[in-house]
Structure 1
Amino acid sequence: MAQGKVSTMPPSSRRSTPVIKDVAQLAGVSVPTVSRYLNGTAKVSAEKREKIAQAIKLLDYKPSFVARALANKEMDSVTLLTSLSNYWATTEVNSGAEHAARDRGFLFGVTSLDGISDDEIESTINRVLSANPAGVIVSESDEIAIQVMRQIPKSVPMVLVGGSRGDAPYQVMPSEREGGRVITEYLLGLGHRNVVHVHRAEGPNNNTRTLGWRDAMKAAGIQAVEAYQIGVDLEESVELGRRLAHEDGVTAVFAGNDETAIALIKGLRDEGARVPDDVSVAGYNDQTFSRMWDPPLTSYSQNFVELGAAAFEMLYAQIEAKRAGEPLPEPECRIIEGRLVVRESTAAPHPRR
């Protein structure tokens, strides 16, 4: 047999559906070598990799997902546990993690924590782990997610998305607090002295947009007024916008997300306030519709897709090390930076008409 080539003759015991033994026989290598090639658990020489790849192609071999799971004692799959599963940011994180998992040949599943009680946490974790996933990603947005994370066995590779720095050994964080600070500093830099902040409920951590707003106001020597917390019903934000239109000294509003910003603009306009002539409004997340709004919305762009992809890659590094019997990677907290996107909804303050 020529070096780097495999025989085109099929194995003598050719089955209608080829199995891993057929691949090994045709490639002239052992079954464990083929298994290592498929699982990526150890290095296989370039020559053997080429032979195995050719044999797989000639036989049209399809690796058995279940068989590999039995060999590894776990499935080539990962599960992401998340609350606020219907939020845009959550779906973007999920999308990034799923695409990264698919690129590595892993199945990806999402388990929603929305609405579960403290009593249901253990049974939820048990259901997830009963499928023998290779690892778990937890997306932190509330206290339930934190409780779930703390109950996952340490033997299971895990990555935390969000939370406070140091909440988990392996962690990927968006630049939430930094983004809140940057966008507030931008508004202050335009000359506004009272940047009002409106936000929804935020996670129990020290990496929130509201804390970034406070950081910027404090650094500027401005006594920050209490932020307005609103719910998911956008009518609340519309009504708040109507009230803010009549408050003295309000020339700039930093909304914690783009939907809230647009609802506030509607409320301001209902009362005759012009945006940005009378009141500047900035949002957060830079969703697609932000650039198409009238006026186009200044916002802070968060790359949530990259956040999800980074979380999976950090998890995959743990999975590979565990399967190869090697030391786990050093603990890491990776920050995914965002950027300020300036559009026409913000401007320097002008006297009210």
Structure 2
Amino acid sequence: MPRNAQRSTPVIKDVAKLAGVSAPTVSRYLNGTAKVNEEKRERIAQAIKLLGYKPSVVARALANKEMDSVMVFATNSGTFSTNMTSIGVENGARERNYLFNVTTLSEDRMDEVRPTVQMALGANPAGVVVYEYDHAGAEALRYIPDDIPLVIVGGNAGEGRYQVINSEREGGHLMTRYLLGLGHRTVYHVGRPQGPSDNTRTNGWRDAMAEAGIAAPPVIEVSATDLSESVEAGRRIAGFDDATAVFAGNDETAIAVIKGLREAGKRVPEDVSVVGFDNRTFGPLWTPPLTSYSQNFVETGERAFSMLYEQIQARRGGQEPPKSRLETVRGEFVERGSALPFAG
């Protein structure tokens, strides 16, 4: 049999024939551009499953005048929180047969944010997700046209019509309150510089200190990428007479601080209790096992795509957009062995 005598990849006409409907009906089902009755939807879905049909992204783009894709704008795309959030967005996109793209922005090149956003939007994505964890993300929002479906991840609560945030401030408050509850008279905080949002771990630390009537010591700011600064912070803290507890802005920082404390002759947790944030997989393996705060960044990304997809479908169907909403993904306190009650 000649190679072109049979088609190895099913096309939309094959689905229509098997389902007993027209090709335009299958197209409407796939694009969500018009209602298809339930009986036909079931037949089409079954035909797609039996044939193993995968819609052509390019063909659907021509029909919709936009690609079946989602564009994510992110800074520091290699960091744990950003990377895991993107995995969540990609999971949601894959389930809906959408392409997933990430455009990286730079805090060090703010003058490039506008042309970078405009170039990425030239690919005609169906919707956009912006991680507003820092100033570059906030700047990017200025150049997203109003008619493009958009979800903000992070930022100040209520800042966008559609927004998903993590319980950053709540988590910082909880970790600090935990240390104070162990009887420590003050809590030092080592963390990276804050972005434009007030929903930060550092602000949660400040909240807990203020509630306890304790004057918060100055924040010890360290680089997000150079852990030697966190080791040095640990050495410095070892020289403070009142330093018996430290809340680190993430688990990597916590472990580096512990290294610095030990190099300066301090025992952890006997002399200084240290807790982290993010509950990385290496935390339980450290000595001592690290007490931390677990955040589900993957769920954050999945929720962001779901919220975006609702907007896209409403737009393509000529319907009113979904009601504005803010969703918060709660974290979880994980107690291990890196903190002890204050010995006095």
Which TM-score band applies after superposition, normalised by the shorter structure? over 0.9
Q: Which moved more, 1:272-281 or 1:27-36?
A: 27-36
Residues 56 and 103 (structure 1), Cα distance of their counterparts in 2 relative to 1, 3 Å cut: closer
Work out the percentage of aligned pairs sharing the same amino acid.
59
- Give unpaired runs (5+ residues) of structure 2: 1-5
Residue in structure 2 matched with residue 103 of structure 1 by the alignment: 95
Residue in structure 1 matched with residue 313 of structure 2 by the alignment: 320
State the distance in 1 between where 2:313 and 2:214 align.
Answer: 50
**In the TM superposition, what is the alpha-carbon distance from 1:32 to its structure 2 partner?**
2.4
Residues 282 and 35 (structure 1), Cα distance of their counterparts in 2 relative to 1, 3 Å cut: same
Higher Cα Rg: structure 1 or 2?
A: 1
> Contact (CA 8 Å) 1:178, 1:209: kept in 2 or not?
yes
- Give the TM-score of the pair, scaled to structure 2: 0.93
> Contact (CA 8 Å) 2:107, 2:135: kept in 1 or not?
no
Choose the corresponding residue for 1:143, options 132, 135, 146. 135
State the distance in 2 between where 1:267 and 1:198 align.
Answer: 12
Choose the corresponding residue for 2:198, options 182, 186, 206. 206
> Contact (CA 8 Å) 1:162, 1:171: kept in 2 or not?
yes
Matches within 5 A, 1:60-209: 61-114=53-106, 117-209=109-201
**In the TM superposition, what is the alpha-carbon distance from 1:284 to its structure 2 partner?**
0.5
**In the TM superposition, what is the alpha-carbon distance from 1:105 to its structure 2 partner?**
1.4
Q: Which moved more, 1:247-256 or 1:113-122?
A: 113-122
State the distance in 2 between where 1:302 and 1:60 align.
Answer: 36
State the distance in 2 between where 1:344 and 1:180 align.
Answer: 18
Q: Which moved more, 1:231-240 or 1:272-281?
A: 231-240
Per-residue CA deviation, residues 163-219 of structure 1 (Å, 9 max, x unaligned), is 111221111001011001000011000000110011011211110111110100100
Per-residue CA deviation, residues 294-327 of structure 1 (Å, 9 max, x unaligned), is 0000111111111111111111111111111111
Over the aligned positions, Cα root-mean-square deviation in angstroms equals 1.9
- Give unpaired runs (5+ residues) of structure 1: 1-13
Q: Which moved more, 1:119-128 or 1:240-249?
A: 119-128
State the distance in 2 between where 1:252 and 1:116 align.
Answer: 33
SS of the residue corresponding to residue 282 of structure 2 reads helix
Per-residue CA deviation, residues 85-120 of structure 1 (Å, 9 max, x unaligned), is 111111100111101111111111111112563432
Matches within 5 A, 1:181-330: 181-231=173-223, 232-330=225-323
> Contact (CA 8 Å) 2:106, 2:113: kept in 1 or not?
no
Letter in 2 for 1:153: P
1:35 has 2:49 as partner: no
> Contact (CA 8 Å) 1:301, 1:340: kept in 2 or not?
yes
**Matched positions, count:** 339
Residues 129 and 116 (structure 1), Cα distance of their counterparts in 2 relative to 1, 3 Å cut: farther
State the distance in 2 between where 1:17 and 1:241 align.
Answer: 60
Residues 197 and 58 (structure 1), Cα distance of their counterparts in 2 relative to 1, 3 Å cut: closer
Residue in structure 2 matched with residue 340 of structure 1 by the alignment: 333
Residues 155 and 64 (structure 1), Cα distance of their counterparts in 2 relative to 1, 3 Å cut: same
SS of the residue corresponding to residue 319 of structure 1 reads helix
> Contact (CA 8 Å) 1:85, 1:114: kept in 2 or not?
no
Q: Which moved more, 1:244-253 or 1:122-131?
A: 122-131
State the distance in 2 between where 1:223 and 1:244 align.
Answer: 17
**In the TM superposition, what is the alpha-carbon distance from 1:56 to its structure 2 partner?**
4.2
